[in-house]
Structure 1
């Protein structure tokens, strides 16, 4: 919003100006979800200004977001995000192990086996790992809109429910132990030139020790998807949906899945869960029919 309002006084930002800003963002091709986030932030800012009596009226009060009418196909696509089937996930992780660059296998193993957000992953420190009880504590997330490795911030998780402790598999713990051993050797070699702030996924080229940036994780995933011949449109967040689908297939309850993912309520997670469980019900029905037919 700065290009629209940066040079104006708060009192000069009228409802008309604010609405024009939202309309222009649509003309410039910003997605509905991005504009919703911008508008939500705008409303918070002006409500706070109203609370502090810096303005007399809230210019966002009657603002609205213009949206295109969607086709049924678009609705269906939105309702069910893309994710990997278990055979595809197995191939992806095998590719990461055999052809991955530094950190790749561990990064994607943890994302797949925990369903954590990529920002939560990048913010992980060794103190968050309990090697005895096999848990990972999610207490913070990484924020760095400029993609400058030195300008990162660690902020509180997305919601109160996002603070959680996740029990993980033995494979994840063993992979973490192996990574820590290698990292400790690097720290010893580099000494004071290493920015030693306990990050698990730390840079080993330029800015040694600083946490890796999220864009780096996205780029690495695209490379591995290309090598393995899988859908290159998938993102690290798709592994969160993959985790949901596999837990649903393993008959874990929706409530437990929500708790593991750090959701209080999320429609996309519900949609993935319902899609998988409905397919399982169809399969059960078919098996019953086949059983009855075999008796004829």
Structure 2
């Protein structure tokens, strides 16, 4: 609604209401008082009202980016799983590094595209897609809330360049697993020259096929020494790489919840580890925060994923293995050994907790192809002297 008035100088003006500001929740108004007569003021006010009704006058908020991300995650969490919220938060943290003081409206399409190009040099295409998807949802929400006029992510294309994967499950299986003899060599090295827990870390990963987040989330209640089983029911997420700021979340999929029957040797290692941990806990009970984690630090808090990755890199440098193995590679190693042992695809799917049969089949087909190629190479080498 417009209010028309005359100023003390004889000029005419208007004040037009432009709705409620979604951030301040206060009435927005526009005033102008430079018209020669009343008719001009009325005509201009009517035009302004029409433009507002047609959506042409949507004004952008000065809302800052990071406070809006907090509000967005709260809204998103009302209709999404907690694990999905964590993924969105991680992706937006990566995207907005260095944008601390920016307002939403200051993020331009060029700025966003440049940021995507920079991130493409650091992360896999799969992870980059997750970041872009998270940003799209964020800015579409901002447009819906009338905080910005345009979505800076619209029309932005991801670089078509494959990068080494950093997220769970995207590693190149051709290199990211150990052959049986390589695993034996690696575990012997871990036992001989490894730091505390190294031998147990990598033996458990290789013999179980569990994800690193699942392993570090294990509590002693999940380990049944009588039945020789380990229950996988959760994974761990550390916010901002802070060991005291963690969450235990449901695993990747419903099928990821599973019971693993384990080797006697592995269970024996876990028994020895539990005994040593109990002794430490009793000795330092004044400062030990007992949360019942299987893999606990000296203060009782859970160990972090980067520790396992660093330990792995250290041992690989000492070994004769020339492969870019990651902790997730021990999951692929377990898969390849199951295939070599003649275990069926259905059993492998259940043991690894794959929800999609195709995922298991893709890995199965890839690794059996590698084995067939190596068998052909060995046969060719064996027969070479006869030709």
Whether the TM-score (by the shorter chain) exceeds 0.5 is yes
SS of equivalent residue, structure 1 residue 212: coil
Which of 261, 265, 269 is 1:175 aligned to?
269
When structure 1 is superposed on structure 2, of 58-67 and 181-190 the one drifting more is 58-67
Q: Compare the two structures and name the one with the higher strand fraction.
A: 2
Which of 248, 251, 259 is 1:154 aligned to?
248
Matching of residues 136-285 of structure 1 within 5 Å: 136-204=230-298, 208-231=299-322, 233-265=324-356, 270-278=361-369
Counterpart of 2:125? 32
Matching of residues 37-186 of structure 1 within 5 Å: 37-46=130-139, 59-60=152-153, 62-68=155-161, 78=172, 80-186=174-280
Is the contact between residue 175 and residue 324 of structure 2 (CA under 8 Å) also seen in structure 1?
A: no
When structure 1 is superposed on structure 2, of 95-104 and 3-12 the one drifting more is 3-12
Q: CA deviation at 1:103?
A: 1.1
TM-score normalised to structure 1 length: 0.79
Q: CA deviation at 1:46?
A: 4.1
Structure showing greater radius of gyration is 2
Change (3 A) 1:6 1:124: same
User: Within 2, Cα distance between the matches of 1:182 and 1:87?
Assistant: 30
| Superposed CA RMSD | 3.2
Structure 1, unmatched stretches of 5+, are 71-76, 291-296
Is the contact between residue 175 and residue 323 of structure 2 (CA under 8 Å) also seen in structure 1?
A: no
Q: CA deviation at 1:167?
A: 1.6
Is the contact between residue 10 and residue 55 of structure 1 (CA under 8 Å) also seen in structure 2?
A: yes
Q: CA deviation at 1:163?
A: 2.0
Which of 112, 117, 131 is 1:23 aligned to?
117
Counterpart of 2:21? none
Change (3 A) 1:132 1:213: same
Change (3 A) 1:272 1:189: same
Is the contact between residue 5 and residue 13 of structure 1 (CA under 8 Å) also seen in structure 2?
A: no
Change (3 A) 1:163 1:45: farther
Higher RCO (CA < 8 A, seq sep 6+): 1
Change (3 A) 1:69 1:243: closer
Structure 2, unmatched stretches of 5+, are 1-94, 164-170, 383-387
Q: Compare the two structures and name the one with the higher helix fraction.
A: 1
Q: CA deviation at 1:170?
A: 1.3
When structure 1 is superposed on structure 2, of 127-136 and 139-148 the one drifting more is 139-148
Superimposed CA distance per residue, residues 245-273 of structure 1 (whole angstroms, 9 cap, x where no aligned partner): 11111122223222222222387754442
User: Within 1, Cα distance between the matches of 2:344 and 2:141?
Assistant: 40
Is the contact between residue 179 and residue 333 of structure 2 (CA under 8 Å) also seen in structure 1?
A: yes
Change (3 A) 1:117 1:52: farther
SS of equivalent residue, structure 2 residue 158: coil
